[in-house]
Amino acid sequence: MAKPFSATSQGSTRGQQTGKPFPLLFPVEVMDVMLSKSHPEYHSLKSVTIGAIKGRKYDSERGASIDSLRWYNPIDPADFKTPLIGEAVLLVQAPNGSISSGGRSDNFCYISTVGVLGAISNNAVPGQVIQTQDSDSPLTFTGNMASPEDTQISQYAPSIFIPPLFAFEGDRIIQGRWGNSIRFSNTSNGSEDQIFWNNSGKDGDPITIIANGIEDRTVTSRSENLNDGSSNLILSSTQELDLEASNKLPVGYSKLNQYAGSQIVLSSDKIILNSMEDTVVISGKKGVSISTPEWKADFTEMMDILKALLNEMNAQAKGESTFVTATGGPTALNPKSMAILTALETRLGLLEQ
């Protein structure tokens, strides 16, 4: 059986000249970030992609000028977290374009930011003042290596505290710097932390939560909240969800938090469904309800009322349901009105299933 390739496999010569192993993973401080093609160095660098960072090695490049530092691409340009200036990222050895032509591939990419401060929004660390190798002016070692008035720490992220989400065993959580998140979780019965989805279902039943926004930043940790004004998308399986309706539901409808089964919930201050080319379809096996501050109505009940009204008006028009007027004679509608009512009744009949 073929042996897997390794930099430490027998026959490898990397690091043998110095007697020290070549580092395959090491941290650097972020000095600049390539955010768009408008960056002044973008067109002069052939292999740099959007999202690349200019990094300073903490061990061997202290005091080196920013112009002399290298650029490092994200390990996966389709899935990366853009670091902030002053944060630390980990570099890992990776192949580059030269590998296809048999050339050497001495390339490094960054794989992850380091939570030096344990913060969600900003882990940039201002540090000590030192002398650079090519300048007499003092520059900070961390925090963009610039003078205090020129530092770019927090240029791309506000100085806000984002409380981290509770984590449950087996969770995968992605948290943005701004209070947005994606959670891949399960029912998590027996949790000491109050959450909106563990009232029913078995441990291991999946739930996916996409949340955007935080109302209370005074807490030290938090869970997603369906009733605090944030925007949420929930894909559940067997869980009851602690969700309150903004208006009363029609008679016969259960409360929103009483259904335990697979459901999709959109919760926000405003929801817009906008189809640019084709139709919007709403289909409910048991029914469709509409609730406003003034009305709470089941769509089927609304159509039944409309049908009964048209039937009665049509009967009146045809003289099938007559009444005596003050002058003592029966009254019928104008023939044109009769034709209109008949047409409306036909159209309504086409809608009935």
Helix (H, G, I), strand (E, B) or coil at 111: strand
Q: Is the pLDDT of residue 110 over 90?
A: yes
Nearest to 57 by CA among 129, 110, 6: 110
In 229-273, the DSSP E strands lie at 231-236, 263-267
In the chain, the DSSP E strands lie at 25-33, 53-57, 70-74, 88-94, 107-114, 129-131, 138-140, 172-175, 180-186, 206-212, 231-236, 263-267, 289-291, 296-298
Report pLDDT digits (tens) over 275-307: 999 999 999 999 999 888 888 888 888 888 888
> Quick one: 198 exposed, middle or buried, by C-beta within 10 A (0-12, 13-18, 19+)?
buried
Helix (H, G, I), strand (E, B) or coil at 89: strand
Q: Is the pLDDT of residue 125 over 70?
A: yes
Nearest to 214 by CA among 228, 234, 193: 228
Report pLDDT digits (tens) over 305-333: 888 888 877 777 676 765 555 665 555 55
Residue spans of the domains in the chain: they are 25-150, 161-272, 299-351
How far is 343 from 353, CA to CA, in rounded Å? 18
pLDDT of residue 79: 86
| Model-wide pTM > 0.85 | no
Nearest to 128 by CA among 26, 29, 33, 34: 29
Read off the DSSP letter of residue 305: H
169: tokens are 């065993």
